[in-house]
């Protein structure tokens, strides 16, 4: 009996121990994941990586497209800018070339001095014209700055150029210094119209239209210029009335040497007239012949008929830079002559004209420039008179009207009075 009770007790204990072992196994802290769960997680991670890689590829592609489109747009902009800039430059160059001939014709017709050389019009940048500059032979120089050089401004707000809508050529130029209208009859003939002038005098009231006719030779050089004034009646409201007559003013006729420099010039001037029935008479005929020797130019003047006292030779001396350094004249009768030396300052403007006679200084004309803004006198011109001993005792300030003298004993100058 005891034996069976012991067997039953052992069996019960054994069963209870097995159940406790299973319970502890279930509560174990480390337990490997099941195969199904592990495969699902790895798949999600792979999908996420692929999506991220695709996003990066799409971003890079988008950036490449943006950069490519930006570069292409920039290239188109630069190309269009260059084309537009070239068109502007070509237009300015065309305008420059056309203006050169018109300005030369206008200046030759209207300058009283003999023009020696025209400078090409410069182009500043791509869209602005420089000044029109030319040098000339003045018969007497007394002005400040550089009177043998003339500058006509071709830029600024006051500059206006109009073109003919039919042929695209310039037909008028308005600048602060001059106004003119141009009419091309052919490549060898140009007409220049100047602004009308109203004149009232003892002869009557007139509305006058100045006109220049410019003729070119086969080489395109100016051969002849005829200047006229067309007279009209003047209406009560100062407008142009009926035509009265056309009066010739002067004729310039040029001949050139083998280097296309002036060889001779004939200048014919006509007398004024105020009635249609009056004859258009010639008042004077002057012939000029040019001789060149390095930087020296001799201009031989002969009147028709001959006048030995006013006929003679002008001699112009120039520096290597083209600045005038002296001018002299001796008449054909060798009875009258003068010599003028020109001194320049560092800016290239005249500082003094020094007049000599028989090798002695007779007088000087000196310039004092005041370039500062708001100066009362931009230039003061002072005349100094020298006596036979070579000493000056009198100075006149031609600008202010004041004078001063020098003491003959102490050689001290008085104050300006």
> According to the model, what pLDDT value does residue 9 have?
47
The residues facing 300 across adjacent strands are 289, 313
- Measured in degrees and rounded to the nearest 5, phi and psi for residue 331 equal -75, 165
Q: Is residue 147 part of a domain?
A: no
Q: Is residue 415 part of a domain?
A: yes
Cα atoms in the 13 Å half-sphere on the side-chain side of 262? 25
Alpha helices by DSSP H, 111-205: none
Q: Is residue 24 part of a domain?
A: no
> How does strand 262-270 pair with strand 282-293?
antiparallel
Q: Is residue 51 part of a domain?
A: no
> How does strand 114-118 pair with strand 296-303?
unpaired
For the chain, what is the domain count? 1
Distance CA 244, CA 208 (A): 10
Q: Is residue 122 part of a domain?
A: no
To which H or E segment does residue 378 belong? none
In sign, the C-alpha dihedral spanning 44, 49, 53, 56 is positive
Query: What does the pLDDT profile of the chain (417 residues) look like in tens digits?
Result: 444 444 444 454 455 455 544 544 555 454 554 545 555 566 677 777 777 777 777 788 778 877 887 777 777 766 666 555 555 555 666 788 889 999 999 999 999 899 999 999 988 876 778 899 999 998 878 899 999 999 998 887 888 889 888 888 889 999 888 899 999 888 899 999 999 999 999 999 999 999 999 999 999 999 999 999 999 999 989 899 999 999 999 999 999 998 888 999 999 999 999 998 999 999 999 999 999 998 999 999 999 999 999 999 999 999 988 899 999 999 999 888 889 999 999 999 999 999 988 778 899 999 999 989 889 999 999 999 998 888 899 999 999 999 999 988 888 999 999
> According to the model, what pLDDT value does residue 360 have?
84
Q: Is residue 261 part of a domain?
A: no
Q: Is 353:361 a contact under the CB 8 Å cutoff? A: no
Distance CA 83, CA 257 (A): 43
> According to the model, what pLDDT value does residue 405 have?
92
- Measured in degrees and rounded to the nearest 5, phi and psi for residue 277 equal -80, -10
Q: Is residue 306 part of a domain?
A: no
Q: Is residue 406 part of a domain?
A: yes
Q: 129: closest CA among 163, 152, 105? A: 152
Please give the residue range of the domain that contains residue 347.
336-417
Give, in degrees to the nearest 5, the angle at Cα 132 between 126 and 134: 140
Residue 349 DSSP code: S
């Amino acid at each position: 009996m005891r034996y069976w009770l012991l067997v039953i007790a052992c069996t019960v204990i054994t069963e209870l121990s097995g159940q406790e072992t299973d319970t502890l196994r279930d509560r174990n802290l480390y337990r490997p994941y099941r195969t199904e769960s592990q495969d699902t997680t790895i798949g999600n991670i792979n999908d996420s990586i692929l999506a991220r890689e695709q996003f990066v590829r799409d971003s890079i592609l988008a950036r490449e497209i943006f950069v490519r489109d930006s570069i292409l747009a920039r290239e188109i902009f630069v190309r269009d800018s260059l084309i537009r800039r070239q068109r502007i430059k070509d237009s300015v160059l065309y305008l420059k070339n056309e203006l050169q001939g018109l300005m030369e014709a206008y200046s030759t017709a209207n300058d009283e001095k003999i023009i020696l050389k025209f400078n090409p019009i410069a182009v500043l940048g791509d869209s602005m014209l420089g000044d029109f500059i030319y040098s000339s032979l003045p018969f007497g120089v007394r002005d400040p700055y550089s009177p043998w050089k003339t500058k006509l401004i071709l830029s600024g707000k006051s500059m206006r150029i109009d073109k003919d809508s039919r042929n695209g050529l310039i037909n008028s130029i308005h600048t602060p210094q001059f106004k003119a209208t141009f009419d091309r009859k052919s490549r060898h003939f140009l007409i220049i119209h100047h602004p009308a002038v109203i004149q009232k005098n003892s002869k009557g009231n007139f509305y006058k239209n100045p006109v220049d006719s410019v003729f070119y030779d086969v080489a395109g050089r100016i051969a002849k210029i005829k200047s006229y004034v067309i007279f009209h009646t003047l209406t009560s409201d100062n407008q142009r009335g009926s035509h009265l007559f056309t009066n010739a003013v002067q004729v310039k006729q040029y001949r050139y040497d083998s280097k296309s420099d002036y060889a001779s010039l004939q200048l014919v001037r006509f007398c004024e007239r105020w009635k249609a029935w009056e004859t258009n008479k010639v008042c004077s005929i002057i012939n000029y012949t040019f001789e060149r020797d390095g930087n020296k130019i001799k201009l031989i003047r002969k009147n028709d008929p001959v006048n030995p006292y006013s006929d003679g030779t002008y001699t112009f001396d120039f520096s290597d830079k083209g600045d005038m350094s002296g001018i002299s004249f001796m008449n054909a009768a060798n009875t009258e002559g003068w010599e003028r030396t020109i001194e320049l300052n560092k800016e290239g403007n005249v500082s003094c004209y020094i007049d000599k006679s028989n090798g002695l200084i007779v007088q000087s004309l000196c310039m004092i420039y005041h370039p500062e803004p708001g100066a009362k006198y931009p230039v003061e011109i002072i005349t100094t008179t020298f006596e036979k001993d070579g000493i000056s005792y009198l100075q006149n300030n031609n600008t202010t009207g004041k004078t001063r003298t020098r003491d003959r004993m102490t050689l001290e100058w008085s104050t300006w009075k």
